Structure 1
Amino acid sequence: MSTRRKFLQTAAVATGASALGSAHIYAAEPKKITWRLQTYAGPALAEHVIKPSIDAFNQAAQGQMEIQLYFADQLVPTGELFRAMQRGTIDAVQSDDDSIAAPVDVSVFGGYFPFATRYSLDVPVLFEKYGLRQIWEEAYGEVEGVTWLGAGAWDPCHFATVEPIRSLADLKGKRIFTFPTAGKFLARFGVIPVTLPWEDVEVAVQTGELDGITWSGITEDYTVGWANVTKYFLTNNISGAWIGSYFANSEKWAEVPEHLKTLFKLCMDSSHYYRQHWYWGGEAQLRVEGGKLELTTIPDAEWKTVENEARKFWDEIAKASPRSAKVVEIFKKYNALMEKAGPPYRY
């Protein structure tokens, strides 16, 4: 009986210790982090500009974190994305500063700032070698609730229209879907900028509400279906690359372990790299082999008027704040250097 009593006591202690040990192991497992990220892009476009990198992140995170991807206007209208991210309604955003109405003075330079860039490689060079990264970090450091994570390049900005554009006079009165700052600039040439939900653009062209689109290059025109409802593509562009960024709610970003932050930034870089070759190859191939859009061109001498007007626009924007003036000065310095470098940097 004495032996049996000792056995039961020992078993009880062992069982309790085992239970405590199991509880300890269970409690030590980190809670899975789940984010909701909304992109500026609709489903067809997102398949290229972000989805491969998010899929890779979710796989590499091994269950420690999952990013749920939502498309343009799916959870929140694009123009309200910044405020929604501040409130924590969504956790992260892929877009340009201009479209999401970021309350910083550098927001006008996101998206398509007229003639700031000629090629997609200009964007990473400007951010990593000419100081734009530090300026963006400073600007967003003054805003509560949102952390700017980095920028990359997208495609150039061209007109895709129902009627041909062969001169500046052809721009007058055209109702065009475009970005806020690009629209303000193009209004100087008689363009009527129109803001619509992204998914409504194709139907708006079909119904005559829009005369065209100045929101992308030819790769996106074909990818998202706009080449099916427009007839002409203007080879002149007002910008060589869209500047887009990744943002996150600051509290949610702070909760992410360092190794997953590193993983997310690597996946951002993967997305930037994918777009470099996807757009660069697509822009050339579809001009030559696309078959749906007839190419038109405004003569260089006449288009020079637009380029000269852009410099005046730059100087007006520079007056908004000392930081804006600094960005404009960097654009001027960079483009002057590229002009002096000559081909292949500038022709």
Structure 2
Amino acid sequence: MTTRRKFLQGSAALAPGAALAAPALAQSTIRWRMQTYAGPALAEHVIDPAIEMFNQIAGDRMQIELFYADQLVPTGELFQALQRGTIDAVQSDDDSMASPTEVTVFGGYFPFGSRYSLDVPVLFNQYGLDEIWKEEYAKVGVQHISAGAWDPCHFATKDPIRSLADLQGKRVFTFPTAGRFLSQFGVVPVTLPWEDIEVAVQTGELDGIAWSGITEDYTVGWADVTNYFLTNNISGAWIGHFFANQERWNEVPEDLKTLFKVCCEQSHYYRQWWYWGGEAALRVNGPKMELTSIPDAEWDTVERAAQAFWDEIAAESETKAKVVEIFKQYNADMQKAGRPYRYTNA
């Protein structure tokens, strides 16, 4: 797997330069290196278009060289590399890049924190999470640029999951906080480099994946090595972000900062419809995985456990308690709003 990963990294490293071909650059051109959490196949949707757009418009004033998952540093070291300036910008969630902030556990998949992808931008832009994130990252020398929603979190497995008992002992690639939550149901969280996951499922090192929805399972090849897709999810949307090293961000002219923010927002918008439509279309028409479900009455056990998990997280610090309270208030408001925001049995 090490040899395979090095080959993929070497070949993928050529892709950004080819795809983002720019005119001859002046000596004064601002040059950034950016790494995403995503591998090449997924990056084609979640980041490539935004960086291509930025480079095309910025021209010889600024160019961003994009690297994919684990190319420059392992995903778990992304924050450290960003903080010390080895990398100028990052697209990731807080959780998998191990950022040392009070909000890290809420990045990625915070269990049942959201039900739909639109919940994420509302939480950040209307319920105050954006301000909290910016304050927390300012303390550690990183500019939090924006947050957006990705896909929901489902299990893709080799064996069918039709009850909570079927989760016992399953070795699953997932995010740190999601793994911490799921371990109470017998799931064994496993951490591996992103590019090794497909092979790990094939060799039996992994029994499944709880890292994405069905769109990514098909896009990155995981649907080729798993047989079943569990329709129950532990979160309605992954919370991901764009970050920059604070010193490098301060050096960028205001109009280029604005351009970068606009390109990030375009990326968020693209994912809103790409995932929303893709999740439904592949459930209905996807030929590679059989859909399974855990009965609602049994799955309610998991949802109730999430509320206890929230309280456990809130007890860890004042900031975490503040964020948990926002999640509680938001979900209570959505429940009271009723259809289409929440259904009575949600």
**Do Structure 1 and Structure 2 share a fold, with TM-score over 0.5?**
yes
Letter in 1 for 2:329: K
The Cα offsets for residues 187-241 of structure 1, whole Å up to 9 and x where unpaired, read as 0100000000000000000000000000000000000000000000000000000
Residue number among 120, 132, 135 corresponding to 1:135 in the alignment: 132
What is the count of residue pairs matched by the alignment? 318
Work out whether residues 105 and 320 of structure 1, in 8 Å CA contact, stay in contact via their aligned partners in 2. no
Q: CA shift at 1:137, angstroms?
A: 1.2
Residue number among 176, 179, 195 corresponding to 1:180 in the alignment: 176
Residue number among 336, 339, 343 corresponding to 1:340 in the alignment: 336
Letter in 1 for 2:115: R
- Find out whether 1:40 has 2:47 as its counterpart: no
- 1:41 counterpart SS class: coil
Residue number among 68, 93, 96 corresponding to 1:96 in the alignment: 93
Q: CA shift at 1:147, angstroms?
A: 1.3
- Quick check: 197-206 or 133-142, which moved more? 133-142
- 2:60 counterpart SS class: coil
Corresponding residue number in structure 1 for 2:15: none
CA distance in 2 between partners of 1:150 and 1:170 (Å): 38
CA distance in 1 between partners of 2:259 and 2:138 (Å): 22
Unmatched 5+ stretches in structure 1: 1-28
- 2:72 counterpart SS class: coil
CA distance in 2 between partners of 1:280 and 1:203 (Å): 28
Letter in 1 for 2:87: I
Moved over 2 A (4+): none
Work out whether residues 236 and 298 of structure 1, in 8 Å CA contact, stay in contact via their aligned partners in 2. yes
- 1:120 counterpart SS class: coil
Corresponding residue number in structure 2 for 1:117: 114
Corresponding residue number in structure 2 for 1:152: 148
Q: CA RMSD in A?
A: 0.8
Corresponding residue number in structure 1 for 2:187: 191
- 1:248 counterpart SS class: strand
Map residues 147-296 of structure 1 onto 2, 5 A cutoff. Answer: 147-296=143-292
CA distance in 2 between partners of 1:85 and 1:325 (Å): 27
Q: CA shift at 1:146, angstroms?
A: 1.5
Letter in 1 for 2:89: A
Q: CA shift at 1:41, angstroms?
A: 0.2
Letter in 1 for 2:208: G
Letter in 2 for 1:318: A
Letter in 1 for 2:228: Y
Corresponding residue number in structure 1 for 2:59: 62
CA distance in 1 between partners of 2:120 and 2:250 (Å): 27
- TM-score normalized by the length of structure 1: 0.91
- 1:159 counterpart SS class: strand
Work out whether residues 124 and 153 of structure 1, in 8 Å CA contact, stay in contact via their aligned partners in 2. yes
The Cα offsets for residues 153-178 of structure 1, whole Å up to 9 and x where unpaired, read as 00000000000000000000000000
CA distance in 1 between partners of 2:41 and 2:259 (Å): 25
Corresponding residue number in structure 2 for 1:81: 78
Corresponding residue number in structure 2 for 1:306: 302
Letter in 1 for 2:42: L
Aligned-residue sequence identity (percent) comes to: 75
- 1:63 counterpart SS class: helix
CA distance in 1 between partners of 2:163 and 2:135 (Å): 41
Q: CA shift at 1:62, angstroms?
A: 1.8
The Cα offsets for residues 273-293 of structure 1, whole Å up to 9 and x where unpaired, read as 000000000000000001101
Work out whether residues 30 and 64 of structure 1, in 8 Å CA contact, stay in contact via their aligned partners in 2. no
Map residues 12-27 of structure 1 onto 2, 5 A cutoff. Answer: none
CA distance in 1 between partners of 2:328 and 2:63 (Å): 42
- 2:243 counterpart SS class: strand
CA distance in 1 between partners of 2:137 and 2:66 (Å): 24
The Cα offsets for residues 238-294 of structure 1, whole Å up to 9 and x where unpaired, read as 000000011111111111100000000000000000000000000000000011010
Q: CA shift at 1:150, angstroms?
A: 1.3
CA distance in 1 between partners of 2:313 and 2:237 (Å): 19
- 1:115 counterpart SS class: coil
- TM-score normalized by the length of structure 2: 0.91
Unmatched 5+ stretches in structure 2: 1-25
CA distance in 1 between partners of 2:289 and 2:199 (Å): 18
CA distance in 2 between partners of 1:306 and 1:280 (Å): 24
Q: CA shift at 1:30, angstroms?
A: 7.6
